[in-house]
Structure 1
Amino acid sequence: MADYLIGIDGGGTSCRAAVADASGQILGRGKCGASNILTDPDTALKNIEQAARLAFTEAGLGEDLVPSSPALLGVAGNNVAHAVDYISARLPFRRFEIVSDGLIALQGAIGNRDGAIAILGTGSIFIARHAGTVHYIGGWGFQIGDFGSGARIGHAALQESLLAHDGIRPQSEMTRTFMAEFGDDPSKAVDFARAAYPNDYGRYAPRVLAFAEKGDTAALRLMREAASLVDEALDRVSAVNGGEGPLCLLGGLAEIYPRFLAERHRARLSKPAADALAGAVSLAAATFQHARHELGAS
């Protein structure tokens, strides 16, 4: 019977799975709901298994092969012991490996080469590989990190709108528009902020960009300030890996940032070779092939 591998890209919005043959050739894909192992591990477990079963179905393979096929899962929160222990005891796979969602994104984008990625979405993280060693920079979450992220841009835009409302900063079309959505009542903006999650702030980021493209002075300044922080992080990335290999921007803001970054970074930018799901499959093939070789040698 043929050996199959499973790659899992477990995200907070959706879970994607792929089944591949032993060489890593993808045969089928499946997609299901959210798979955040930190905030809702039971739902994550259900969706991880369902996505894997859908992948086998698309490949024309029996779902009964899922438990016997080794799986590599790239998920946020892989470094949180209690979350990993909880799902590890309940995953449907006989053999599995859990790695970070950033690692599978890196592998998909640059393959086995040295290089780096910047993931710029609702949150942010920067990852570099040099001489086989992977380095993580940032990614500390919305409360104390995620600089340059959509959530941070949206948060800054609401701060700017309140500053303008109080006459501390000049008004702009952006600040007037955002305050108008709260009925020009700062207390309503405060109520929003008390209950807001990062993705609630992140929804403002595309609108900030739209205002910036129209020449709105406040929006332009916010985008330039965010890009300046990203430039600093990319300087650190270059120091870590000597500026070697491709540099890929990933995430929802990947298409937005190049026009705001410093030329030294724009000159390095490359298109990612593949996505995070392909990266998960690639790592699964390497991981479990190595395991087979070790078993054969013992």
Structure 2
Amino acid sequence: MLNPSYFLGIDGGGSKCKARLEDAQGNLLAESVAGPANPARDQQLAMASIQQVSEQVVKLAGLPNSALANTYTAMGLAGLNLPFYKAQMLEWQHPYAQLTLSTDLYIACLGAHNSDSGAIVIVGTGSSALACNQGLQFEYGGHGFLLGDKGSGAWMGLQTVRWALESFDGIAPSSPFVEAVFQFFNCSDPAQIVEKYLTSSSADFAKLAPLVFEYADQNDFVATGIVKQGATYLSSLARKLQTHGPQRTAFIGGLASRIQPWLDEDIQGSIQPPIAAPEYGAIMLAKREFDLLHNSK
């Protein structure tokens, strides 16, 4: 049996996608980052980001683009839990030797536990959760920015914009946080805020999350209220995962470390650190699918 030259793992989310390239012996050759890769949000942008990060990572490894034809690839993308968008991605005439598609949740769970048995809560631009046990997957949340993603960066940004507008109208009280929000917008006219955010992406809203945490740490009542509401939901999400008896539970994503101190005490005590990043989980999946393909011949 011939060995592949390379394995490529890609983790695609609402704000960015990350790639990890290894040789057949498991040595890390390069890592790279590109733009958003959520097909359910913008398929063309997702495809462009995936293409860009693939070309970047082989270039950083000192390889030509033609090396992708000898690369066994797995990618976990936000939005692929929806059959329509997965079907669209399956039609892609990709440049790889083999492509395995999965969700960002599943590859994150593989990486976090180095195993199919475990549970994760992702808290980044969006929020979602997955428990894996005995070959079964139990997914919760992850319904998208308009329908869910509670506790996520995008959700916090949306609550912030709503409160700021209501405060300007004299309906909701102001606070130092709200004043800082208007300084962040660099405007005093609510119409400008509406124009900016009426059609903004979840990633745009998520840019406000660091400001929310900054003022929550200062006990600002508006920022604290937003963070506590999100943390209560995420605690409930983690508690639901535990009903499936996972061996380990981890919180991952860009806001995982920021939200953990705000979670319910029982959940804080049950969290264990992730073993590896989601793109490493994608590498695990690529190697598994390679073995299945060649062992069946």
**TM-score range, shorter-chain basis?**
0.7 to 0.9
Instruction: Return the offset for 1:257.
Output: 0.8
Write the distance in 2 (CA, Å) between the matches of 1:245 and 1:19: 29
Q: Which residue of 2 aligns with 1:162?
A: 165
Alignment-derived partner of residue 20 in structure 1: 22
CA distance in 2, matches of 1:142, 1:282: 29
Map Cα deviations across residues 154-198 of structure 1 (whole Å, 9 max, x no partner). 211222233334444432111233346464433333333323222
The CA deviation at 1:96 is 1.6
Are 1:113 and 1:245, in contact at CA under 8 Å, matched by a contact in 2? no
Instruction: Report what 2:139 is aligned to.
Output: 136
Select 2:130's aligned residue among 122, 127, 132.
127
Quote the offset at 1:290 in angstroms.
Answer: 1.9
Partner in structure 1 of residue 283 of structure 2: 281
Give SS of 2:70's match.
coil
CA contact 1:108–1:273 (8 Å) conserved in 2: yes
Match of 2:110?
A: 107
CA distance in 2, matches of 1:236, 1:35: 28
Cα distance in 2 for residues equivalent to 1:32 and 1:186? 33
- The code of the aligned residue for 1:138 comes to G
Of 95-104 and 138-147, deviating more is 95-104
Higher mean alpha-carbon deviation, 189-198 vs 202-211, is at 189-198
Q: Give the TM-score normalised by the residue count of structure 1.
A: 0.86
Residues 30 and 60, structure 2, Cα contact 8 Å, conserved in 1: yes
| 8 Å Cα contact 2:157-2:206 kept in structure 1 | yes
The equivalent residue for 2:4 is 3
- Count of aligned positions: 293
- Choose the corresponding residue for 1:95, options 87, 98, 104: 98
- Match for 2:220 among 216, 232, 247? 216
Contact conserved, 1:18 with 1:52, CA < 8 A, in 2?
A: no
Q: Which moved more, 1:169-178 or 1:116-125?
A: 169-178
From 241, 262, 282, the equivalent of 1:237 is: 241
For the residues of structure 1 that align with 2:280 and 2:124, how far apart are their CA atoms?
Answer: 19
* Alignment-derived partner of residue 296 in structure 2: 294
What displacement does 1:261 show? 0.5
Q: Distance in 1 between matches of 2:126 and 2:86?
A: 20
- Mark the CA change 1:179 to 1:95 in structure 2 (over 3 Å): closer, same or farther: closer
Report the secondary structure of 1:177's partner residue: helix
Instruction: Tell me, in whole angstroms, the C-alpha distance in 2 between the residues paired with 1:293 and 1:229.
Output: 44
- Offset at residue 267 of structure 1 (A): 0.3
Q: What amino acid does structure 2 have at the position aligned with 1:90?
A: Q
Normalization by structure 2: what TM-score?
Answer: 0.86
Residue segments in structure 1 that go unaligned for 5+ positions in a row: none
CA separation of 1:106 and 1:6: change in aligned 2, threshold 3 A = same
Q: Which has the larger radius of gyration?
A: 1
Partner Cα separation in structure 2 for residue 278 and residue 219 of structure 1: 34
1:22/1:285 contact within 8 Å kept: no
Q: Secondary structure at the match of 1:90?
A: coil
Instruction: Check the 8 A contact 1:38/1:83 in 2, yes or no.
Output: no
CA RMSD of aligned residues (A): 2.7
The DSSP-based 3-state class of the residue aligned with 1:140 is coil
How far apart are the structure 1 equivalents of 2:30 and 2:253? 24
* Maintained 8 Å contact 1:57/1:63: yes
